[in-house]
Amino acid sequence: MRFILFSVAILLFFSACSSTTNDEFNKPASFWYEKLIIAISKGNLEQADNYYNSLSSEHSASPLISEALLMLIQAHIDNNEHLLAGFFANEYKTRFSNTKNVDYIALLSTNTNFHAFNNHSKDQGFINDNIRDIAQFILLNQNNKYLPYIHHILTSFKLSRLEMNNEIIRVYNVKDKIEAKEKYEKYNEELGVDNIEFIPSYVPWYVKLFSW
């Protein structure tokens, strides 16, 4: 008797799941878009990503896709999920890049990278790569209408590099390694931001315990 009741319960469960799944096929684009917005507002980004997948697969030409992508990019940035933010930024670039929005696409990619580092002491290569890439972009795209903001992002990356270099200089000074210290002082001069006043990065006390 227990086995029969258990079997019936399992059948009812899968029947309900099947019914729910079938109910959510072939919905209009606005259905998935609204679901996505609600999921983001509740902080359920995994569910929001799933709703985006349904929207893009069932309505690949919907104008709502671009708005959904922009919302997902910002939501993942706000949630410190920068790899996913970068993924959706690339998705936006692939789907919607054209001659009219090329300036904005550049800003979007740069801004996503800008938010993608939290601890300057652990992202030296990332910072260096962005300084190089953004500087090259500015050199080749003098007419980009978002150039002032891109310059701001470049300066922020340079200040992060400056702060990191200063810590390295401090260590070499303590260890009396004058040549190495002078090399990093030269790096700071080349950055061109050593005369800018800025608020130092916040480093928790428990992180400082393990700092060199």
Strands annotated E in 61-165: none
pLDDT at 197 (0 to 100): 80
pLDDT at 162 (0 to 100): 92
- Helices and strands: H and E segment counts in the chain: 10, 0
pLDDT at 113 (0 to 100): 83
pLDDT at 11 (0 to 100): 46
Contacts of 172 (CB under 8 A, 6+ apart): 178, 180, 181, 184
pLDDT at 13 (0 to 100): 44
Structural domain boundaries of the chain?
27-96, 101-212
Three-state DSSP at 115 gives: coil
Could you give the CA distance from residue 44 to residue 35 in angstroms, rounded to a whole number?
11
Question: How far, in Å, are 15, 116, 118, 135, 170 from residue 208 at the CA level?
Answer: 56, 22, 15, 32, 14
- pTM given for the model: 0.70
pLDDT, mean of each 10-residue run, the chain (212 residues):
44 44 74 97 96 96 95 92 90 92 90 72 79 93 93 92 90 91 93 82 58 54
